[in-house]
């Protein structure tokens, strides 16, 4: 008899769970990721904005919200206004579950401690003497970027690969980004400073790591960290016209790496951050419209200092903790690279200071690897921090050539 009562109790409990699950799924299926508009009745515009931005954040804090959109521990919001109606809201929040999907759903960036930052534009309009509404302004940013065209409908073919030379570079003047080609004057990148140098804390860092950009007559490209989306900012005609191609997953400014082979373009960028480490994704495209993630099953893309695709099969990745790794099968398998140094380097006080592979450069048909020092490195000559230059003699094997001052 007792067994029957227990059986009925368990059956009832499971039935309740089933009903709750079904109801929850039905509610989640009807969830609207972005409320069309929010309304309130208050005395003035400032009160309306304060109340509506709280309503907007609270919209994502209910059991009715799928975990891919649910905010957990609360949120902070900063406001920027432009004119009478345009409002830009910057939210910093902790999701109920932290993963790449929710970062992508909000079009945000990972901001440390499993939090997310996101920025959206809205219209705040007065509907009556005391009535106000906040409405999403889809696709309309506060910064005008008319010279940059989205390639959502336009497919481009990759131009022939060209090599960068020392005369092809970028420069910064008065918070503006310029590019220079051999024998040509500087050309302004529209909104380039804001897009390329943006950091997660809304400051700007004008230093780009080696390998994070391409500047050639055929193709100029930067990883863009605009408020709306992470993607590739590129030009085919030496900066006269610019296009933007968005990535599926949002990212944040860390190291970035762009490689062009004879058939594809590869971009590696920071997409997640946790416990002081940055995690990376590698994407590939052949038309600068469609991107897919490259599967690298044997490689942990964490705190990368180098990512270079010499061909679609010969690949180099490096980090301070893992050293240099290479693949000869397009990233399916990886081996540890071999860096050969003379005895005089190992006899430097404290041991070989060159431990961080940072860049690969091609000159006269040969590849040269530049290896720097760790953050604690203090090996200097004539008051300048040194790095090592090694030459590739076989896939994954490099011989020391010389010391030179770090850039």
Q: What mean pLDDT do residues 203-224 have? A: 91
Q: What is the pLDDT of residue 143?
A: 25
Closest CA to 104 of 224, 255, 299, 246: 246
pLDDT at 407 over 90: no
Percent of the chain with pLDDT over 90: 32
Which DSSP string corresponds to 49-65?
Answer: HHHHHHHHHHTTSSTTS
Read off the tokens for 211: 């390998």
- pLDDT tens digits, one per residue of 346-364: 888 888 999 999 999 988 8
Q: What is the pLDDT of residue 70?
A: 81
Q: What is the pLDDT of residue 146?
A: 31
For residues 238-273, one letter each, b for 16 or more C-beta atoms within 10 angstroms of the residue's C-beta and e for the rest, the string is bbeebbbbbbebbbbbbbbbbbbbeebbbbbbbbbb
Q: What is the pLDDT of residue 224?
A: 92
Task: DSSP letter for 190, please.
Answer: T
Cα gap 265→286, rounded to integer Å: 6
Give the range among 70-74, 261-265, 330-334, 376-380 with minimum mean pLDDT: 70-74
Q: How many CB atoms lie within 10 A of CB 153?
A: 7
* Contacts with 67 (C-beta within 8 Å, 6 or more apart), sequence order: 96, 97, 102
Closest CA to 364 of 391, 403, 389, 402: 391
pLDDT bucket at 275, cuts 50 / 70 / 90:
low
């Amino acid at each position: 008899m007792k067994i029957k009562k227990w059986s009925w109790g368990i059956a009832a409990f499971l039935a309740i769970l089933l009903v709750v699950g079904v109801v929850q799924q039905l509610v989640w299926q009807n969830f609207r990721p972005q409320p069309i508009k929010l309304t309130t009745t208050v005395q003035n515009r400032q009160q309306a904005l304060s109340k509506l931005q709280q309503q907007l954040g609270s919209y994502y804090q209910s059991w009715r919200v799928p975990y891919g959109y649910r905010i957990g521990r609360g949120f902070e919001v900063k406001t920027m206004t432009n004119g009478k109606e345009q409002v830009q809201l910057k939210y910093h929040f902790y999701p109920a579950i932290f993963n790449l999907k929710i970062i992508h759903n909000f079009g945000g960036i990972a901001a440390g401690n499993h939090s997310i930052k996101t920025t959206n534009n809205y219209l705040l309009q007065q509907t009556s003497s005391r009535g106000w509404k906040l409405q999403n302004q889809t696709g309309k940013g506060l910064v005008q970027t008319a010279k940059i065209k989205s390639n959502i409908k336009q497919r481009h073919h990759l131009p022939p690969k060209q090599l960068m030379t020392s005369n092809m570079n970028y420069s910064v003047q008065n918070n503006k980004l310029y590019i220079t080609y051999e024998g040509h004057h500087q050309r302004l990148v529209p909104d380039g400073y804001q897009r390329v140098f943006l950091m997660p804390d809304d400051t700007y860092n004008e230093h780009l790591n080696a390998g994070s950009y391409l500047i050639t007559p055929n193709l100029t490209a930067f990883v863009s960290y605009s408020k709306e989306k992470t993607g590739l900012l590129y030009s085919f005609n030496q900066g006269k016209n610019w296009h933007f191609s968005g990535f599926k997953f949002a990212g944040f400014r860390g190291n970035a790496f762009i490689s062009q082979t004879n058939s594809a373009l590869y971009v590696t960028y920071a997409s997640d951050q946790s416990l002081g480490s940055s995690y990376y994704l590698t994407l590939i495209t052949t038309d600068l419209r469609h991107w897919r993630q490259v599967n690298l099953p044997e490689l942990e893309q964490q705190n990368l200092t180098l990512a270079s695709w010499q061909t679609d099969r010969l690949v180099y990745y490096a980090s301070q903790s893992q050293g240099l790794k290479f693949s000869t099968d397009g990233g399916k398998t990886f081996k540890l690279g071999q860096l050969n140094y003379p005895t005089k380097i190992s006899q430097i006080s404290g041991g070989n200071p060159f431990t961080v592979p940072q860049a690969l450069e091609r000159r006269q048909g040969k590849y040269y690897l530049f290896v720097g020092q760790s953050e604690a490195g203090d090996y200097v000559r004539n008051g300048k921090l040194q790095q090592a230059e090694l030459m590739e003699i076989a896939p994954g094997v490099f011989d020391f050539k010389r010391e030179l001052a770090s850039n």
